[in-house]
Amino acid sequence: MWQWAGHSRRLPAQGKPGARRWRLVPMLLLTLALTACGSGAARGKLASGTATPSAAPSPTQPPCDPATQWSAPAGNISLDALSMVSADEGWATGVLNPSSVIGGTTSPAVLFHLVHDQWQRLPQTYPGAELQSLSMDSLTDGWAVSPSPVTGSAHPLALHYTGGVWRPVDVPALDAVLRPTATISGANIMRISVRMFGPQAGWMFAWTNRDAASEGEPSLVLRYEGGAWRLISNPRAAAGVTLFDLSAVSADEAWVVGTEYGSSASTPPTTLFFHYLDDAWSQSPETFPGATESLTMVSTTDGWAGDSVGTDSLLHYDGVRWSAVPTPPAMARQGASFLGPVITLAPSETWFVAGQTGLILPENESLWQSVSGHLTRVAWPFPDSMPTVLVASTPTDAWGIADIEHQMGCPPLMTTVIPQGVFLHEVNGVWTRQVLP
């Protein structure tokens, strides 16, 4: 059912479609030694550009009782990706009955279609193939991709929407990652993304666990040209560099973020950036301490990198250089830092999720926004679920997705988090949500 909550923010401009959501451990979020289960603290509010920290958690919380915990409904769905093609039409991907078993899932991927403000689930399912990324370039064309094959197949699932139907398309460069050889049993694609710039132009990026010395490049960069996905060369980088994410700003321009790891455990990692322009890669001169895994380019002159380890800063590109954005004092007082994802709502408005490293339940998270370079905390109306994708379709209308993350089990034993999908909608500054199924 839809739930209503007021929020005074007005969207200044149309957002970038196809915003991306990263789930580092598909279908399962794992927490160890959490202090208790229960709801989080109240959110801070925006007030004249200052961020008000949330209230401290109560020192006495009700005891954790597995017998009274949430029970997943039949047909429970978690949501992965969203792409809007107009103010009242869009697509989303999710997973039916997400598994709580470590090491993967055979749960089927599903597709949703928004028509006239109603989300409708398509009957087709894709067992074992979580569709992590989705990009619609028009009402009649788009792509959705998975790091895994449908159960029983050897081809990582790539779906092309054309002629009013989603059809699987084989991408040989992705097949090669999973294909065993005489010396290795095959690798896995850990994360994949797609971004289209029209029916004949787009980018795909896959991060794998291949060993570069014996199995080939661990990260794949592909461009869509002439009706096919073509593998292009990676940025030239040292052997110890892992390329984590790609974000494109046009059919001919993209950025990649990578991390250079030292030859020993005592050598700290370093974040690097690579720029593709005029059919060639170049490396940005700026480097930063720590490992950075998430990148979002808003435009040719505005980009953000986060989801970092070893640093408390966001990294920002202003069209000339990359620089660190210090953690706001209010966030630092809470012991929190930027975690990701980076969500672009409009060219001048970007949102970030922050939290305490290692504590991944929503009560440990908060939402922040940068409007024209000024960071403040968002008075988000749904404290049990942080948005993972938000897309502004008009200046007064936005859609998004999130998951309510239900903790199962009690400390000090191992606990898991089972996600339950939520569709978000904003009209004239008022947010509503539809909790699935």
Amino acid at the residue 195: R
Domains of the chain by start residue, with CATH: 2-14+127-399+423-435 (2.120.10)
291 has a pLDDT exceeding 60: yes
pTM for the model stands at 0.83
| Average pLDDT value for residue range 26-45 | 27
Bigger pLDDT: 420 or 239? 420
**Res. 314 pLDDT band, cuts 50 70 90:** confident
Contact predicate 79/93, CB 8 Å:
yes
Tokens of 137: 């370039």
pLDDT in tens, 109-120: 999 999 988 999
Pairing assessment for the beta strands 133-138 and 108-115 based on DSSP bridges: unpaired
Distance of CA 355 to the CA centre of its chain: 16
**Res. 144 pLDDT band, cuts 50 70 90:** very high
Among 161-165, 294-298, 300-304, the range of highest mean pLDDT: 161-165
List of residues 6+ apart from 105 with CB closer than 8 A: 26, 27, 28, 95, 98, 99, 128, 130
52 has a pLDDT exceeding 70: no
Amino acid at the residue 124: Q
Among 57-61, 241-245, 260-264, 364-368, the range of highest mean pLDDT: 241-245
pLDDT in tens, 173-203: 999 998 876 666 678 999 999 999 999 999 9
Bigger pLDDT: 48 or 131? 131
Bigger pLDDT: 222 or 364? 222
Residue 183 burial (CB < 10 Å; 0-12/13-18/19+)?
A: exposed
38 has a pLDDT exceeding 60: no
Distance of CA 403 to the CA centre of its chain: 12
In the prediction, which pLDDT does 372 show? 74
Tokens of 47: 């007030």
In the prediction, which pLDDT does 58 show? 45
Q: What is the DSSP letter of 236?
A: P
In the prediction, which pLDDT does 164 show? 95
In the prediction, which pLDDT does 369 show? 84
List of residues 6+ apart from 214 with CB closer than 8 A: 183, 184
**Res. 220 pLDDT band, cuts 50 70 90:** very high
Bigger pLDDT: 150 or 333? 150
- CA–CA distances in Å: residue 229 to residues 27, 177, 254, 264: 28, 15, 16, 37
In the prediction, which pLDDT does 311 show? 57
| Average pLDDT value for residue range 272-297 | 94
In the prediction, which pLDDT does 356 show? 66
Share the mean pLDDT of the chain: 80
